[in-house]
Copies of this chain bind each other. A is one copy, B any other.
């Protein structure tokens, strides 16, 4: 990926790849805003906060199609090689991950609507913390792509364990609420599902970080044991 990038005809693909990067960063910032708004709506109990989320989702969908078309067009017309080729394939994968993060925020708003119809079950601490972590993971995973920073990408993968730990804690606590009071069950279940959606957002950021490391190092970290066996 480093240095001057030329295709087989000697033309530089820098501009096209920069454009792909910019579109991915734009998608990521939209996804971050969606996470922020859905969880703020939950915490502040204000139904208006997440109103623009469906519009953001359409914007993500549009960008996803744009990026896929652009990737196919580049592959078809520029015949990129080596690092450029891998970059374009990676861009197409990251593209799908970001679009799915958007879908998950839509799932969160559905559960939030259920919750706002009832009085609050408990003060929310761990779910907003999970959401902050997940949002930072999305940002860092994209930054690691732009800066080609393997360490930053690895920090995203480590943060995923924290999110998983918090999710387990949230589920345990909410099950106790359910056992203590049957009237708490539906609200506790909605909160458990929100925690799982946030956990999955973090999983998608982790997938992006793994794709970035694979791109930079040219080896597969998605399944480390198998990659090692093959070396």
Residues of A within 8 A of B (CB): 58, 61-62, 64-65, 68, 71-72, 75-76, 79, 81-82, 85-86, 89, 92-93, 96, 171, 175, 178-180, 182, 185-186, 189, 192-193, 196, 220, 222-223, 226-227, 230
Contact = CB atoms under 8 A, between A and B. Distances in A.
Contacts of A96: 93, 96
A85 B72 contact: yes
Contacts of A93: 92, 96
Given A85-B72, A85-B76, A89-B75, A62 B226 contact: yes
Nearest to A88: B75
A83 to B, nearest CB: 11
A61 B185 contact: no
B65 A75 contact: no
A104 B171 CA distance: 19
Contacts of A89: 68, 71-72, 75, 92
Interface residue SS majority, chain A: helix
B185 A65 contact: no
B182 A65 contact: no
Contacts of A196: 193, 196
Contacts of A86: 72
B75 A82 contact: no
Given A72-B86, A75-B75, A178-B178, A65 B220 contact: yes
A85 B180 CA distance: 58
B76 A227 contact: no
A86 B64 CA distance: 16
21 contacts: A58-B223, A61-B222, A61-B223, A62-B226, A65-B223, A68-B89, A68-B220, A72-B85, A72-B86, A72-B89, A76-B82, A79-B79, A92-B92, A93-B96, A178-B178, A178-B189, A179-B182, A179-B185, A182-B182, A189-B189, A196-B196
